Structure 1
Amino acid sequence: MHSLPIALILATLVTGADERPQPSVWRNPSNSVHVRAEPCGADSMCATVIWASDKAKTDAQRGGTKQLIGTQLFQNFKIVRAGLWKGTVFVPDINQRFSSTVTVVDENTIVGKGCALLGAVCKAQTWTRVRP
């Protein structure tokens, strides 16, 4: 599995109780990437890499992303319904974008899911809040 699987990128979009985008920092299950999620437009959320392990940086470079830190992984996520967001995720390891969703489990946990091939191939991953 890539160090930045599709689901990792989806994990940045948790909201407050009122469902408006709230800035926050999230980590993937292996703690190899941290992203800062914040509003990017009136009703959208985006997330940018603020920290990555050396391995994650190397994997991204092999995939064609020269600078992982500062790369926007989640793009234009919009709320679909309470607790569910939909947008596009960029996976630096393979230099591809995919349709993706984020489901809010609780204020500190989200599950990101990214799909390819019209939903035939999907991966999910649980992300944890690092800090608000």
Structure 2
Amino acid sequence: MRRLPLLLMLVGLPAAAQPAPSPVGVWATPAGETQVRIARCGDGLCGTVAKVTAGETRDVNNPDPALRSRSVVGTTLLSGLKPSEDGWEGSIYNFRDGKTYSGKMALKGPNALELSGCVLGGLFCKKQVWSRVN
């Protein structure tokens, strides 16, 4: 009878040892034109362009004219992402329009990541779901 509590503890161990889902890895935008590598940055997350397969590959819409000729590969798109109640919150840079938005990010499954970028304090938002590449 003394072994029963120990056995119950051991049976529950594998489930308890599972790591929390993480968005760390490479993700593709909905059209598959851009791949973004999400990594740990300090106590949060950040994301940089890993690959662009279609469209403009230079940061031509950047508000800083000195940066408009740089390649978008290696450019930080997701910055300052800190854990929040529903995922992570931070900033999202959209190189397609050169604007930075207040952003949220949440896993919607092991291979689906929902991002939303907002302006005017969240009055206007746009969402998209990225797919895990690896």
| Aligned equivalents of 2:30, 2:124: Cα separation in 1 | 20
Which one has a bigger Cα radius of gyration?
Answer: 2
Identity %, equivalent residues: 26
Whichever residue aligns with residue 127 of structure 1, its letter is W
Could you say which structure has the higher helix fraction? Answer: 2
Q: Residue 108 in 1 paired to residue 133 in 2?
A: no
Structure 1 unaligned spans of 5+: 1-15
Cα 1:52–1:92, aligned 2, differ >3 Å: closer, same or farther? same
- 1:75 alignment partner in structure 2: 79
Deviation above 4 Å: which 4+ runs of structure 1? none
Q: What TM-score do you get using the length of structure 1 for normalisation?
A: 0.75
Output aligned runs, 1:1-40, within 5 Å: 17-18=19-20, 23-40=24-41
TM-align CA RMSD: 1.9
Could you say which structure has the greater relative contact order, defined with CA pairs below 8 angstroms and 6 or more residues apart? 1
SS for the counterpart of 2:57 is helix
Aligned to 2:124: 121
- Per the alignment, residue 50 of structure 2 pairs with 50
Residue 116 of structure 1 and its aligned partner are, at CA, apart by 0.6
TM-score by length of 2: 0.74
Q: Distance in 2 between matches of 1:92 and 1:36?
A: 15
Aligned residues: 111
